[in-house]
């Protein structure tokens, strides 16, 4: 029994070491895209990013446990109501964490560098998607470009707090749907625009 408990403790400690290493590498990849010459600042900001990932994970793991518990319910209406309640409670936890994190980053970094951290935490989907829309529809007006950027920035803020890469992409996907509907209402035929873009790309 003692041997079993010792083995479990060792496994748990090793898992924690592996997790910490993963977060450290993730934060380093984000920061290495920036020019931060001050070593003390570099490591301080890296610590902020690692702490944020850890805090987000704790919130989302708790959310998963709560969702798993209600999945045993048979009444779909009850399940849906409880899911919504859990999601709202999670959002209430994430909001102050998000704001505090950005304030800490802003105390150490320029606004451009803070945006670089945001992009790093969301796989640069904002810039990639912005470029894709502008390449696909070269005739976009300044107003349309501004609206697209506004929605993608909003998506990035939400995606920063998501618990997995899938959830981050799902959030951007939702906003891409909103953008597509907006462009369709503005008179763009997205199928034709996409086909023309593909043709231009092959030249």
Reply yes or no on whether the pLDDT at 74 is more than 80.
Answer: no
Alpha-carbon Rg for the chain in angstroms: 21
Report which secondary-structure segment, H or E, holds 61.
Answer: helix 39-70
Reply yes or no on whether the pLDDT at 76 is more than 60.
Answer: yes
pTM score of the predicted model: 0.90
Burial 138-177 (b: 16+ CB within 10 A, else e): eebeeebeebbeebbeebbebbbbbbeeeebbebbeebbe
Query: What gap in Å lies between CA 184 and CA 178, rounded to an integer?
Result: 10
Share above pLDDT 90 across residues of the chain, in percent, rounded to a whole number: 82
Per-residue pLDDT tens digits for 105-143: 999 999 999 999 999 999 999 999 999 999 999 999 999
Phi, psi of 75 (to 5 degrees): -80, 115
Share above pLDDT 70 across residues of the chain, in percent, rounded to a whole number: 95
Q: Which residues contact 136 (CB under 8 A, 6 or more apart)?
A: 193, 194, 197
Average pLDDT, the chain: 94
> CB of 73 within 8 A of CB of 82?
yes
Nearest to 121 by CA among 59, 168, 64, 167: 168
Q: What is the pLDDT of residue 8?
A: 63
Query: What gap in Å lies between CA 200 and CA 136, rounded to an integer?
Result: 9
Query: What gap in Å lies between CA 5 and CA 70, rounded to an integer?
Result: 31
Reply yes or no on whether the pLDDT at 1 is more than 60.
Answer: no
Q: What is the average pLDDT across 21-39?
A: 95
């Amino acid at each position: 029994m003692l041997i079993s408990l010792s083995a479990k403790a060792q496994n748990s400690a090793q898992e924690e070491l592996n997790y910490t290493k993963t977060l450290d590498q993730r934060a380093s990849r984000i920061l290495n895209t920036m020019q931060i010459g001050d070593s003390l600042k570099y490591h301080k900001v890296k610590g902020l990013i690692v702490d944020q990932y850890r805090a987000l994970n704790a919130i989302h793991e708790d959310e998963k446990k709560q969702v798993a518990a209600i999945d045993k319910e048979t009444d779909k209406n009850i399940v849906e109501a409880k899911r919504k309640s859990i999601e709202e409670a999670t959002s209430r936890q994430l909001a102050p964490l998000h704001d505090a994190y950005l304030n800490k980053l802003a105390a150490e970094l320029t606004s451009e560098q803070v945006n670089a951290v945001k992009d790093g935490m969301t796989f640069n989907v904002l810039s990639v998607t912005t470029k894709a829309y502008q390449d696909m529809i070269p005739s976009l007006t300044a107003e349309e470009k501004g609206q697209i950027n506004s929605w993608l920035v909003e998506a990035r803020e939400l995606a920063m707090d998501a618990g997995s890469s899938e959830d981050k992409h799902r959030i951007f996907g939702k906003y891409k749907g909103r953008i597509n509907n907006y462009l369709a209402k503005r008179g763009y035929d997205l199928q034709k625009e996409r086909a023309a873009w593909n043709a231009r790309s092959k030249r």
